[in-house]
C-alpha cells in the first residue's frame, strides 16, 4: 500500500510540471504571433519595459529626466535680468525641497515674464515632474485641488505657492478613451486636463510664448522652448500652436491676450489676433462665475482704459457686457464717457496702492442701461424710485447670466444707484442722514464721474464736495441756504383736498301741496 502511494506521488510530480510548461509555451507562441501581426503592440511593450528601467515611480512622471530637444534654449544667468532677490522666499523653498528629493522643479509663467520687465509678480507658480500626490507627501501645509486641472496649493501663512505637474498635449480621440484624465466638449473646449508629460510637453501646451519660460534655481538659468525671450525683446504677444485650435480649447485665452497686450504694452501677432473676431462667441460657453473672475482681471489690472478699448476693438465686449455694448453702439452720449471716467479713476487708485471694489466698476458699466429702462418705466407712469429699483433689478439679473456677479457686489451697486436720486435732490432734512450712510463715499464718487462725463446735475457734485470740506457751523449755513433756494431741495407741499361744498338739505315738506 505504501509503495502504491509513493508511485502515484512520483507520477503526479512528473505530470504537473509538464502540463505547466506546455501551457506556457503555447501562450508564448500565441503572443509572438500577435506581436508579429501588430508591430505597434510590440513597440508599446518595449517602451513600457524601457520606462520601467528609467524610474521606479508610476508613469508618466520620471525623476531627474534629461531633456534633449533641438528647440530648447538655455539662457545663462549672465544673459538675463531675472534675480533670486526679487523672488518669493517661500517659492524658493518649494523648489529646493522638490529638487533635494530627486524631482525637477522650476518657476514658470507670469512671474518670470514680469521679472524680465522689472515688475513685481502677483504670484509665483512652480512646475515639476512630481505628481500632485507626490508633492502632497512632501509638504504637510499643502492641499490637492481641482478636477479640470489637478493642482497643489502650498500655504505659507497668507502666501500660496501653486504647484502643477508637467502636462502634455492630447487630442480629442485620445481623450475619449481616458475621460478620467482628459475630456473635451463638443466645441473643443478642454473640460479635464490631467495628462502628464515632460517639461517640453508642458511648455508647448502653454498659451503664450512669453509665459513658457522656466527658471532653474540650481544654476539660475532660464529655459526657453517656444521663443519667449525673442518675443519679449520684440514686444510681441504670440500664441503657441494653432490659434483657432487653442481658442477652441479655452476661449478665455482671448481675454488673457488682451490683458497682456494692455499690461505689457505689446503688439499682438496678426495670426494670434485675427481669429478673435470670428471666435469671440465661444465666450458664451464659459461658466459665468469664471467670466466674472476674468473680467475683474481685465478691468482691475491697472490698465482698464486700454483693456476696455481692446475689448471693443476685438468684439469681446458684446459677449461680456451686452447691455453696455448696445448702449455704446446706439451712440449714447454719456455711456462711454462715464465708463472711461470710472476706469481712469480705478487705474489711478491701483497705481496709488488704494483699494478698489468691483461694485463701482459694474455700477458705471451698467448705469446707462439701467437709466434707460428706468426712464421708460417712468414714461409708463411708474414713480421715480420704484422705476429705478425695478430697472436695477432687471439689468443686474440679466448681467448675472453672463458674468455671475456675487450678491455682495450687486447690493452695493444698487446702493450706489439709489444714492444718486438722494444726492441730486439734496433734501435739507436728509443731509446728515445721507452723509452718515455707509455707501455715501461710493455714491458721491459716482456722482462726480457722472458730472465729469457731461451729465447736467445742477452742480450737485460741487455742492457735496463743498459741504464735506466745511466746518460744522458753516455746514448748517449751507443747508439753510439750500432751504432758501426756490426749487432746490424743496419738498413739494401736498395740497389738502378741497372739501366738497355741503348740499342744502331739502325741506321734507317742500314739493307737497
The CA distance from 102 to 474, in Å, is: 74
Active site residue 332: no
Judge whether 166 and 199 are in contact, CB under 8 Å: yes
The CA distance from 412 to 408, in Å, is: 7
Active site residue 432: no
The CA distance from 108 to 126, in Å, is: 6
* Catalytic residue (choose from 104, 114, 125, 193): 125
* Catalytic residue (choose from 35, 123, 332, 415): 123
Active site residue 481: no
Element (H, E) at 215: strand 213-216
The CA distance from 344 to 350, in Å, is: 10
Give the full edge-to-edge strand order of the sheet including 159-165.
Answer: 73-75, 221-224, 213-216, 105-108, 125-128, 159-165, 151-156, 142-145
Element (H, E) at 163: strand 159-165
Tell me how far CA of residue 219 lies from CA of 67, 79, 87, 489, in angstroms: 15, 13, 15, 72
> Quick check: helix, strand or coil at residue 23?
helix
* Catalytic residue (choose from 114, 193, 202, 207): 207
Judge whether 377 and 391 are in contact, CB under 8 Å: yes
The CA distance from 359 to 445, in Å, is: 12
> Quick check: helix, strand or coil at residue 448?
helix
Catalytic positions, please?
A: 123, 125, 207
Amino acid at each position: 500500500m505504501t509503495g502504491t502511494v509513493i508511485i502515484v506521488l512520483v507520477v503526479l510530480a512528473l505530470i504537473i510540471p509538464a502540463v505547466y510548461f506546455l501551457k506556457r509555451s503555447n501562450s508564448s507562441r500565441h503572443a509572438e504571433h500577435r506581436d508579429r501581426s501588430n508591430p505597434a503592440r510590440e513597440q508599446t511593450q518595449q517602451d513600457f519595459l524601457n520606462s520601467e528601467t528609467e524610474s521606479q515611480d508610476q508613469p508618466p512622471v520620471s525623476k531627474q529626466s534629461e531633456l534633449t530637444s533641438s528647440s530648447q534654449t538655455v539662457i545663462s544667468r549672465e544673459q538675463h535680468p531675472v534675480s533670486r532677490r526679487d523672488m518669493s522666499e517661500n517659492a524658493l523653498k518649494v523648489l529646493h525641497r522638490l529638487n533635494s528629493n530627486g524631482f525637477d522643479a522650476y518657476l514658470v509663467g507670469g512671474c518670470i515674464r514680469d521679472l524680465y520687465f522689472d515688475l513685481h509678480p502677483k504670484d509665483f507658480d512652480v512646475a515639476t515632474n512630481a505628481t500632485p500626490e507626490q508633492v502632497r507627501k512632501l509638504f504637510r501645509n499643502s492641499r490637492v485641488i481641482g478636477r479640470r486641472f489637478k493642482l497643489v496649493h502650498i500655504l505659507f501663512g497668507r502666501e500660496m505657492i501653486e504647484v502643477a505637474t508637467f502636462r502634455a498635449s492630447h487630442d480629442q480621440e485620445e481623450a475619449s478613451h481616458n475621460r478620467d484624465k482628459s475630456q473635451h466638449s463638443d466645441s473643443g473646449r478642454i473640460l479635464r486636463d490631467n495628462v502628464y508629460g515632460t517639461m517640453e510637453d508642458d511648455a508647448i501646451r502653454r498659451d503664450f510664448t512669453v509665459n513658457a519660460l522656466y527658471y532653474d534655481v540650481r544654476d539660475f538659468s532660464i529655459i526657453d522652448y517656444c521663443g519667449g525671450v525673442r518675443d519679449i525683446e520684440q514686444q510681441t504677444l504670440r500664441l503657441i500652436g494653432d490659434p483657432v485650435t487653442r481658442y477652441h480649447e479655452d476661449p478665455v485665452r482671448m481675454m488673457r491676450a488682451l490683458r497682456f497686450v494692455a499690461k505689457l504694452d505689446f503688439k499682438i501677432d496678426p495670426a494670434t489676433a485675427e481669429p478673435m473676431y470670428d471666435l469671440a462667441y465661444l465666450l458664451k460657453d464659459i461658466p459665468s462665475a469664471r467670466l466674472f473672475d476674468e473680467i475683474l482681471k481685465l478691468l482691475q489690472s491697472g490698465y482698464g482704459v486700454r483693456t476696455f478699448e481692446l475689448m471693443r476693438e476685438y468684439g469681446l465686449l458684446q459677449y461680456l457686457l451686452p447691455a453696455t455694448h448696445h448702449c455704446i453702439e446706439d451712440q449714447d452720449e454719456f455711456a462711454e464717457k462715464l465708463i472711461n471716467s470710472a476706469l481712469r479713476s480705478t487705474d489711478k487708485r491701483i497705481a496709488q496702492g488704494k483699494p478698489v471694489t468691483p461694485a463701482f466698476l459694474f455700477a458705471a458699466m451698467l448705469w446707462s442701461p439701467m437709466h434707460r429702462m428706468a426712464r421708460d418705466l417712468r414714461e409708463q407712469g411708474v414713480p421715480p424710485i420704484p422705476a429705478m429699483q425695478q430697472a436695477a433689478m432687471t439689468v443686474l439679473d440679466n448681467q448675472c447670466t453672463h458674468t455671475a456677479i456675487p450678491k455682495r457686489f450687486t447690493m452695493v451697486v444698487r446702493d450706489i444707484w439709489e444714492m444718486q436720486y438722494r444726492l441730486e435732490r439734496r433734501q435739507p432734512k436728509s443731509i446728515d442722514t445721507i452723509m452718515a450712510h455707509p455707501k455715501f463715499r461710493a455714491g458721491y464718487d459716482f456722482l462726480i464721474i457722472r458730472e465729469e462725463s457731461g451729465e447736467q446735475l445742477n452742480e450737485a457734485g460741487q455742492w457735496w464736495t463743498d459741504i464735506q470740506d466745511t466746518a460744522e457751523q458753516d455746514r448748517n449755513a449751507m443747508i439753510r441756504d439750500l432751504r432758501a433756494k426756490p426749487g432746490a431741495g424743496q419738498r413739494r407741499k401736498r395740497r389738502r383736498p378741497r372739501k366738497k361744498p355741503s348740499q342744502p338739505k331739502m325741506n321734507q315738506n317742500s314739493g307737497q301741496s
